[in-house]
Amino acid sequence: MMCFQVFCELYHIHAWLHRTAAPTIASTFAAGANQQQPFELGMSATNVPFAIANIRVEVPEVAAHTRIGWFRSVSNIPHAFAIQSFAAELAHAAQRDHKSYLLDLLGPARKIDPRSMGNDFNYGESPERYPVDIARMRHVIELATSKAGWGRKLAKGKALGLAVSYSFVSYVAVVIEVDINAKGELRIPMVDMAIDCGPLINPDRIRSQLEGACIMGISLALSGEISFKQGRVEQSNFHQYEILRAYAAPREIRCHLVENSLEIELGGVGEPAMPPIAPALCNAIFAATGKRIRNLPIRDQISKA
């Protein structure tokens, strides 16, 4: 569960309060662990790279009622969904273009020591070798939006949604195009993904990881859900736990890789593309329908718009 408060003057943000509530994976290994750990908060919660003078993250206690295991991109998924969705809401409230507003939130190009944001985790990497580089984050936003034709006029029911994320010391921006008919049926004609992961050692491998993360992220956002009843998981197999089918997958996924010299440190590619998928999709849905999705999975929420 996420909760935000902002204090602003004409939508210039002075303070950002983020509450994040979730059981911790530490509960699997230690009895009584009931609060997200620093490494979980270091996945897109405490290291929000916005140019806001006052950022506070609050973490209430939450008991775990089932055994928790690892998952692709881990805590980055809910944190990025909340933050990138809320950034789009702020842009709408300010009557600003989302891309322009997001770039303003990030502020000028600079390198940030993650420790200065209360994040000693930094994915286990040296903060000196792997600072948060806002120039690189801004560049993937510009690249993805340029390739997607951001700002082009689209027919009724069609729209673009944007999100960006820094995770596993790589930078990924995603633009998703949606096409929603009068019945609330969703199609995804195009996804543009831009990644800066340092030197491109194996470009084909990077593309395959991006494409896989895109499919998995959309699947989770649309229908991925495990529920409990009387202490038992209700889903027993894939006839109940829905995954994305071929007919519902994006018609085209375009991957745009930022080239770097070998002097730049290597970043991850298997997990960084997951976090921006759900917020980009939901931001596109809002742009197309005016329906803001705040709870996942989406399922039939579009048809109720």
Residue 245 lies in a domain: yes
Instruction: Convert the pLDDT of each residue in 100-116 to its tens digit.
Output: 999 999 999 999 999 99
SS (H, E, C) 266-302: CCCCCCCCCCCHHHHHHHHHHHHHCCCCCCCCCCCCC
Total domains in the chain come to 1
In sequence order, the 6+-apart residues with CB closer than 8 A to the CB of 144 are: 162, 173, 174, 175, 192, 193, 194, 256
SS (H, E, C) 87-126: HHHHHHHCCCCHHHHHHHHHCCCCEECHHHHCCCCHHHCC
Domain span at residue 248?
A: 76-289
Mean pLDDT of 6-35: 87
The whole-angstrom separation of Cα 237 and Cα 226 is: 11
Per the listing, tokens 């204090």 go with 7
Residue 89 lies in a domain: yes
User: What does pLDDT average to over the chain?
Assistant: 94
Mean pLDDT of 270-299: 97
CATH code of the domain in which 258 resides = 3.30.365.10
| Residue 269, CA atoms < 13 Å, CB-side half-sphere | 26
Predicted pLDDT at 167: 97
Predicted pLDDT at 5: 65
The whole-angstrom separation of Cα 211 and Cα 194 is: 11
Residue 133 lies in a domain: yes
Residue 56 lies in a domain: no
Residue 36 lies in a domain: no
Residue 25 lies in a domain: no
Residue 7 lies in a domain: no
Instruction: Convert the pLDDT of each residue in 27-76 to its tens digit.
Output: 999 999 999 999 999 999 999 999 999 999 999 999 998 999 999 999 99
| Residue 124, CA atoms < 13 Å, CB-side half-sphere | 3
Residue 273 lies in a domain: yes
